[in-house]
Structure 1
């Protein structure tokens, strides 16, 4: 992977992580680095899932892919938050 690919994954991960965090009600007790990490993983997994479903490349904005990524980010943030609650 080239530097531009890594940087774009980080930027997309930030956006996806923040949107996933905003999708959850209430306060989450995880840091910004964990949010970014969840966002990056969710963006990569969401892209792979969208490609598997055949909705990754559409004309215009890929809304379904974005929704999958945001949903995965919200799930990841919720799981990390719940893990922190138990400690």
Structure 2
């Protein structure tokens, strides 16, 4: 059973890691703030559960907090980096716009969108 203190610490650590991770990481911020905070809280809670399964007592604040931070930081960092890489490049948006201008993306002269077979 997860104690209320570990739930509260997971919430505090998750929100803190989510907000700080969002502010500290360089580059485009494609991931919304709510997503980084939610992932931080979820990963922090997973760290708390994992620490409890390993045998850390629920009253031990330091090992549980280290596990929470240890889970939350990599998850938030990976989420922000992955969301930044999933954004379409300017050229991809321009290609989509050109296809829509030619006729809504429908192929001309009986061809297919993928090109000749």
TM-score scaled by structure 2? 0.50
Is the radius of gyration larger for structure 1 or structure 2? 2
Q: How many residues align?
A: 75
Structure 1 unmatched runs, 5+:
1-7
CA RMSD between the two structures: 2.8
Match of 1:67 in 2: 66
How far has the Cα of 1:26 moved from its partner? 3.5
User: Counterpart in 2 of 1:84?
Assistant: 83
Runs of 4+, deviation exceeding 4 Å: 8-11
User: 1:51, CA displacement in angstroms?
Assistant: 0.5
Equivalent residue number for residue 14 of structure 1: 15
Structure having the higher helix fraction is 1
TM-score, structure 1 as length reference: 0.63
Greater relative contact order (Cα 8 A, min sep 6): structure 1 or 2?
1
